[in-house]
Amino acid sequence: MRLPRIGLGCMSLSHAYGVPPSPEDGLAVLRDALDAGVRMLDTATLYGGGRNEELVGRALAAVGPARRDEIVLASKGGMAPVDGVKTIDGRPQTLRAQVDASLQRLGVDHIDLYYLHRWDRRVPIGESVGALAEAVAAGKIGAIGLSEVSVARLHEAQEVAPIAAVQNEYSLWSRNPELGMLEATRETGVTLVAFSPVARGFLADGVGDPDRFAPKDIRRNMPRFQPEHWPANAALLPPWRALAAEAGCTPAQLALAWVLSRGDHVVAIPGTTDAGHVRENLAAADLVVDPAILQRAGELIDTPTVSGPRYNAASSAEVDAETFDEAA
């Protein structure tokens, strides 16, 4: 499956980063994004407890069936709120039900790419992937993806069914795919979908003061934004701004250009609630940045220069992707 180099991560339109826009404003962002040329929308069962899929479905209905065929629609299952608690559940019966519910909320007869959102350690990944393979055979989904998995889990899944994409966090300040996944996806013809490619707003120079995050902003629980780590990370921003200016682009565009430079099989799905930022991000796909500047970007912001792990202990326990602690 060939995916657009830059898509739109839709999560922030329904939850995660402070107070989301109203459904009407979120729909306007999506319609503007599609008009601007976005051709991949990424959502999930988890996002807003299904509200995000409903919002994306409204946007697709608004553009009509002819344009629907131009858009890669991606969603995810295997992680959802249950009685208000985020729950990882990769049992086949759960995934079957969640695929059907996603189709209904999105208002479509098929989803182009459907991910196992998290590997459920209680369930062999082959069983979860097998259920998704059934959905492919039934025409409900077009291809199978995995999210936040390790190379070992990717290979286990590939023994059961073809895997089209792996969606793991990847940016200048989260280099975990370089511990094997970047090469494994390249070698096996799998697309690596980089989520949070602008480091949850940090590389877009859009964070400001983390103390001013909304109470439910998920970054409040992320170590890199907390007082013991934030000052060291904030000190990277002035030289980062200067480097983007030297490249003749915005900080967010430089971050995206760096991610895309990691391989032809790498795509990015930055999220935003601002239509102007959507256009800014899309333009990064056509940027030509001096390789020397990209190299300097990679040296300025890298695992040794970034303070703090990407997740706290509870969130780290939910993911299977390689970590630098394991590599040490």
CA dist 30 and 294 (Å) reads 30
Smallest CA-to-CA distance from 173 within 263, 298, 280 is with: 298
CA dist 156 and 67 (Å) reads 36
List, for residues 160-171, the tens digit of each pLDDT value.
999 999 999 999
**Predicted pLDDT of residue 231:** 98
Please confirm, yes or no, whether 17 is among the known catalytic residues: no
Average pLDDT of the residues in 301-313: 97
Catalytic residue among 47, 115, 170, 311: 47
pLDDT band of residue 93 (cuts 50, 70, 90) is very high
Average pLDDT of the residues in 34-49: 97
pLDDT band of residue 44 (cuts 50, 70, 90) is very high
Question: Would 240 be classed as within a structural domain?
Answer: no
What's the burial of 315, exposed, middle or buried (CB within 10 Å: 0-12/13-18/19+)? middle
List, for residues 46-79, the tens digit of each pLDDT value.
999 999 999 999 999 999 888 898 999 999 999 9
Q: What is the CATH number of the domain that holds 168?
A: 3.20.20.100
Average pLDDT of the residues in 288-317: 97
Question: Would 194 be classed as within a structural domain?
Answer: yes
Question: What is the token pair recorded at 224?
Answer: 């890199």
**Predicted pLDDT of residue 2:** 86
Residue 312 has pLDDT above 70, yes or no: yes
Question: Would 62 be classed as within a structural domain?
Answer: yes
**HSE (side-chain half, CA atoms, 13 Å) at 89:** 16
List, for residues 99-134, the tens digit of each pLDDT value.
999 999 999 999 999 999 999 999 999 999 999 999
| 8 strand-pairing partners | 41
Residue 95 has pLDDT above 70, yes or no: yes
Q: Structure pTM?
A: 0.97
Residue 327 has pLDDT above 70, yes or no: no
Question: Would 75 be classed as within a structural domain?
Answer: yes
Average pLDDT of the residues in 208-236: 96
Domain range for residue 274? 8-201+263-285
Chain center to CA of 304: 23
Question: Would 308 be classed as within a structural domain?
Answer: no
CA dist 135 and 144 (Å) reads 9
Question: Would 325 be classed as within a structural domain?
Answer: no
| 87 strand-pairing partners | 80
Residue 147 has pLDDT above 60, yes or no: yes
- The domain tally of the chain equals 1
Residue 77 phi, psi dihedral angles, 5° rounding: -140, 175
Question: What is the token pair recorded at 156?
Answer: 């286990």
pLDDT band of residue 309 (cuts 50, 70, 90) is very high
The three state secondary structure string of the chain is CCCCCECEECHHHCCCCCCCCCHHHHHHHHHHHHHHCCCEEECCCCHHHHHHHHHHHHHHHHHCHHHHCCCEEEEEECEEEECCEEEECCCHHHHHHHHHHHHHHHCCCCEEEEEECCCCCCCCHHHHHHHHHHHHHCCCEEEEEEECCCHHHHHHHHCCCCCCEEEEECECCECHHHHCHHHHHHHHCCEEEEECCCHHHCCCCCCCCHHHCCCCCHHHHCHHHCCCCHHHHHCCHHHHHHHHHHHCCCHHHHHHHHHHCCCCCEEECCECCCHHHHHHHHHHHHCCCCHHHHHHHHHHCCCCCCCCCCCCHHHHCCCCCCCHHHHC
Question: Would 275 be classed as within a structural domain?
Answer: yes
List, for residues 155-202, the tens digit of each pLDDT value.
999 999 999 999 999 999 999 999 999 999 999 999 999 999 999 999
Average pLDDT of the residues in 296-304: 98
**Sheet of 111-116, strand order:** 8-9, 40-42, 72-77, 111-116, 141-147, 165-169, 191-195, 266-268
Question: Would 233 be classed as within a structural domain?
Answer: no
Residue 238 has pLDDT above 70, yes or no: yes
